[in-house]
C-alpha cells in the first residue's frame, strides 16, 4: 500500500514541479527561497496525502500548499529584517536608468508589504490569475479576493510614493 501511495505521489509531483517553482518564484521573487518553499510544500503534501480525496484536484490542492508555504516564508522574513544596501548606491546617469530605478522602487516597496499582500499581488500580476482563480486558491469569496487585491495595490502605491514622490508608479 505504501509503495502505491509513493508511486501515485511521485507521478503527480513530477507533473506539477515546474509550475510549482514558477508559482513560488512569482510570490517570493528569489530562486533559492522558491526552491525551499516548494520543498516544504512537497513535505507537507506527503504528510497530508490522505486528506486529498480526489486525485484530479491535486493541482489546486498542491497550489494552495505552495502558496501557504510561501506565505510562511514571507512572514518569517518579515521578522528577520534585512538591510538593503541598494539605496546607498548612487546612479551615475539617472536619466539612462529611469526604468531600472523605477523597478528598484517597486521591488523595495514590494519587499515591505505584508505576506498576504505579496501573495495576492503575485498571483494576479506575476502568475496572471483572474480574481475568481485567486479566490479559489486562497479559499475566500471572490469579493474578498477583489478587496484584498485592491487594498494590496493601494498599499504598494503608498509605499512607492513615500519612497520617492516624483517617481511614483501608478
Give residue-wise pLDDT tens across range 53-64. 787 788 888 899
Q: What is the mean pLDDT of residues 48-77?
A: 86
Assigned architecture for domain 83-170: Orthogonal Bundle (1.10)
In the structure, what pLDDT confidence band is assigned to residue 86 with cuts at 50, 70 and 90?
Answer: low
Closest among 155, 159, 59, 63 to 116, alpha carbons compared: 155
pTM of the model: 0.59
Whether residue 170 has pLDDT greater than 50: no
Q: Give the per-residue pLDDT at 83.
A: 55
Match 514541479 to its residue by C-alpha cell.
17
Task: Out of 25-29, 41-45, 51-55, 133-137, pick the least confident.
Answer: 51-55
pLDDT tens across 114-155, in order? 999 999 998 998 888 899 999 999 999 999 999 999 999 999
User: What average pLDDT does the structure give for the chain?
Assistant: 82
Topology of domain 1-81, per CATH? Rna Polymerase Sigma Factor; Chain: A (1.10.1740)
For CA atoms 132, 25, 44, 7, give the dihedral sign: positive
Name, in order, each residue with C-beta under 8 angstroms of 117's C-beta and a sequence gap of 6 or more. Answer: 148, 151, 152, 155, 156
CATH 1.10.10.10 domain range(s) in the chain? 83-170
CATH 1.10.1740.10 domain range(s) in the chain? 1-81
Q: Give the per-residue pLDDT at 147.
A: 95
Amino acid at each position: 500500500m505504501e509503495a502505491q501511495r509513493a508511486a501515485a505521489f511521485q507521478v503527480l509531483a513530477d507533473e506539477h514541479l515546474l509550475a510549482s517553482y514558477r508559482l513560488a518564484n512569482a510570490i517570493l521573487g528569489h530562486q533559492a527561497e522558491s526552491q525551499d518553499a516548494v520543498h516544504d510544500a512537497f513535505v507537507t503534501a506527503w504528510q497530508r496525502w490522505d486528506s486529498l480525496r480526489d486525485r484530479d484536484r491535486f493541482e489546486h490542492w498542491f497550489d494552495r500548499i505552495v502558496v501557504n508555504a510561501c506565505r510562511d516564508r514571507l512572514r518569517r522574513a518579515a521578522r528577520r529584517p534585512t538591510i538593503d544596501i541598494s539605496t546607498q548606491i548612487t546612479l551615475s546617469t539617472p536619466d539612462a536608468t529611469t526604468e531600472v530605478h523605477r523597478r528598484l522602487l517597486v521591488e523595495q516597496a514590494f519587499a515591505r508589504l505584508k505576506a498576504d499582500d505579496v501573495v495576492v499581488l503575485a498571483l494576479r500580476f506575476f502568475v496572471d490569475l483572474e480574481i475568481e482563480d485567486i479566490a479559489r486558491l486562497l479559499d475566500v469569496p471572490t469579493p474578498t479576493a477583489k478587496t484584498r487585491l485592491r487594498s494590496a495595490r493601494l498599499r504598494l502605491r503608498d509605499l512607492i510614493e513615500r519612497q520617492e514622490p516624483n517617481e511614483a508608479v501608478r
